[in-house]
């Protein structure tokens, strides 16, 4: 999870494959670290983990507001997409050396 205000990564999780637990762990870490006192918008794509009941319950219980673009329109999630593009590019470069 990337905080758009500070531009810092505030929540993350890594597993061999994308699963519901990965996004739940990352969001929980972000909420725990930032402890938002006001409503916070959470931008995501339309992937299966972001539609799970657990995901909805987690953001509802913590006063978070979901934001999801239409299919094929990634503007809501552009900052995260850019971050992960750079991250993967650096990982490949590091693996090659």
Distance in angstroms (rounded) separating the CA atoms of residues 49 and 89:
24
pLDDT number for residue 72: 61
pLDDT, tens digit (0-9, with 9 covering 90-100), for 31-72? 999 888 888 888 776 777 777 888 889 888 998 888 766 666
Pair 2, 30: CB distance under 8 Å: no
pLDDT, tens digit (0-9, with 9 covering 90-100), for 18-29? 788 888 999 899
Structural domains in the chain plus CATH codes: 2-95 (3.30.420.10)
H or E segment and range at residue 66: strand 64-68
Q: HEC string of 37-60?
A: CCCEEEEECCCHHHHCHHHHHHHH
Q: What predicted TM-score, i.e. pTM, was given to this entire model?
A: 0.70
Distance in angstroms (rounded) separating the CA atoms of residues 42 and 73:
16
């Amino acid at each position: 999870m990337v905080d758009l205000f500070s531009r810092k990564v505030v929540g993350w999780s890594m597993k061999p494959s994308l699963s519901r637990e990965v996004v739940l762990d990352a969001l929980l870490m972000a909420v725990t670290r930032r402890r938002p006192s006001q409503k916070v918008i959470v931008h995501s794509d339309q992937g299966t983990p972001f539609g799970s009941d657990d995901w909805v319950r987690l953001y509802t219980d913590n006063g978070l507001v979901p934001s999801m673009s239409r299919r094929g329109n990634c503007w809501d999630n552009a900052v995260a997409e850019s971050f992960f593009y750079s991250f993967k590019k650096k990982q490949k470069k590091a693996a090659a050396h």
